[in-house]
Homo-oligomer: A and B are copies of this chain.
Amino acid sequence: MKKDSRLSSVLHAILHMAEQDKPMTSDVLAMCMKTNPVVVRRTMGLLRNAGLVTSERGHSGGWRICADLNKVTLYDLHDALGEPSIFAIGNRHERPDCLVEQAVNAALDDAFADAQALLISRFKTVTLAKLADDFAHRHAKYRQQKE
């Protein structure tokens, strides 16, 4: 299956929004992420439900961030997206009758649960402010290189 790239998408969008005073339209965001405005609305709508952004209709409307960059983490976004399933590998059957398969599932589930816990805890340590900061550094470096 295709990978879910919404987390990466909304991060990209929300950081751009954080650098703007004015709201950004779905069209502009779509251009920026090389996708379609409807996809942007669909995805950003989930962030709105989670109270992370607001949207306004009509002239000079669009999307605006309404969250503290220091408090919102990658996990909050992942959560806002509905905590989509993380792994592309899974068990052949859930709740098998076969005891062998049960033992196999248990071992795999354990390992995946640990990896998931680590990932989630990592997500919780990264704030949007941190990412904005990282971007600023990249930007400074980029400008230096251009000289």
Residues of chain A touching chain B, judged by Cβ–Cβ distance below 8 Å, are 1-5, 7-9, 11-12, 15-16, 32-34, 74, 84-93, 98-108, 110-112, 114-116, 118-119, 122-123, 126, 130-131, 134-135, 138-139, 142
Contact = CB atoms under 8 A, between A and B. Distances in A.
A53 to B, nearest CB: 16
Number of copies: 2
B102 A138 contact: yes
Contacts of A101: 8, 12
Contact of A87 (B3, B106, B118): B3
Nearest to A89: B4
Give 10 nearest A-B pairs by CB, closest first: A1-B1, A3-B90, A115-B119, A111-B122, A103-B135, A103-B134, A88-B88, A5-B92, A11-B104, A8-B92
A91 B8 contact: yes
Given A2-B1, A89-B3, A90-B5, A119 B111 contact: yes
A111 B138 contact: no
B32 A98 contact: yes
Contacts of A100: 12, 15-16, 135
B3 A88 contact: yes
A115 B104 CA distance: 21
28 contacts: A1-B2, A1-B3, A1-B4, A7-B108, A8-B92, A8-B104, A9-B92, A11-B108, A12-B92, A12-B98, A12-B100, A12-B104, A16-B100, A32-B98, A33-B92, A34-B92, A84-B88, A86-B89, A87-B87, A99-B135, A99-B139, A102-B138, A103-B131, A103-B134, A107-B131, A111-B119, A114-B122, A115-B119
